[in-house]
Amino acid sequence: MKKDFHQFLPLKQAVLMAGIALMLGACGQKTEKELANDYVDHVSQALRDEGRISPEWLAWTREPAGFEVIGDTIAITTAPHTDLWQRTYYHFRNDNAPVLQMKTREQFFSFVVRTDFTGSKCRFDQCGIVMYLDSDNWLKGSVEYENETFQHLGSVATNNGFSDWATTAIPADVKTMWYRFSRREDDYCIECSTDGVEFSQMRVCHMFAATEEISFGIYACSPEESSFTARFTDLKITECAWKAHDGQQPD
């Protein structure tokens, strides 16, 4: 009986794909499955251990003017005219702040860090936590210097290329701040603390582009003609401290 040529297409495609996989292996390139097996999720690893973060787990999205890692202290020295902002109100776009991050697919966790910005001295000097996915999608929390009287404790959520800025004024003599960044699937919470024990909510938001793998960590920048050194200590991962909502149930 005569066979239709199209009946053999699936078999031919399977043979072709198998041949490509063998060729990639022979050339030293890994298949998609092998790459997936090689993926190390350090957040999951930290949750199984004591929550401590090794600096070697972090990678620069952009390197700063200078940095130093001594023990558990990461020092970042900013360059002038570095910032993260997209469009809203100011209408300009800045996307050159140094960002040091780690990747994860873990859906429920919290990240805690202590920041020291004693050296901040010029308007908008800032350092804090960040989840930077790309230039149009990111989240940050920090203290931004304003003047000798007050500064802004605030956060920015940028979705699809538009930033907002939620702030409250705090005294200018505050020079350290703890932050806690929590993930519950594709919803996020930023909290702050002056002692690393009692945390207060700064923001709850949804990030449309942050549904699977994300990158998060620390950043520092100086949007105007300034430079300072920010210090980050006590980085750790914990079980998600942002608990499930216990009020009105989902529709």
pLDDT at 36 (0 to 100): 55
Separation CA 102–CA 90 (nearest Å): 30
Nearest by Cα to 140 from 197, 68, 80, 223: 223
Separation CA 42–CA 73 (nearest Å): 19
By percentage, how much of the chain surpasses pLDDT 90?
A: 76
pLDDT at 44 (0 to 100): 94
Q: Which of these CATH numbers, 3.90.1150.10, 3.50.50.60, 3.40.50.2300, 2.60.120.200, describes 43-238?
A: 2.60.120.200
For 123-182, write each residue's pLDDT tens digit: 999 999 999 999 999 999 999 999 999 999 999 999 999 999 999 999 999 999 999 999
Q: Please name the amino acid found at residue 76.
A: I
The residues with which 129 forms a beta bridge, in sequence order, are: 141, 218
Average pLDDT score over the chain: 88
For 49-105, write each residue's pLDDT tens digit: 889 898 889 999 999 999 999 999 999 999 999 999 999 998 889 999 999 999 999
The predicted model scores a pTM of 0.84
Confidence of residue 33 (pLDDT cuts 50, 70, 90): low
**C-alpha torsion sign, points 211, 212, 216, 221:** negative
pLDDT surpassing 70 at residue 8: no
pLDDT surpassing 80 at residue 11: no
Q: Which two tokens stand for residue 110?
A: 């919290």
Residues 60/97, Cβ–Cβ less than 8 Å: no
The residues, any chain, with a CB within 8 Å of residue 20's CB and separated by 6 or more, are: none
pLDDT surpassing 70 at residue 113: yes
pLDDT surpassing 50 at residue 14: no
Strand pairing of 187-193 and 99-104?
A: unpaired
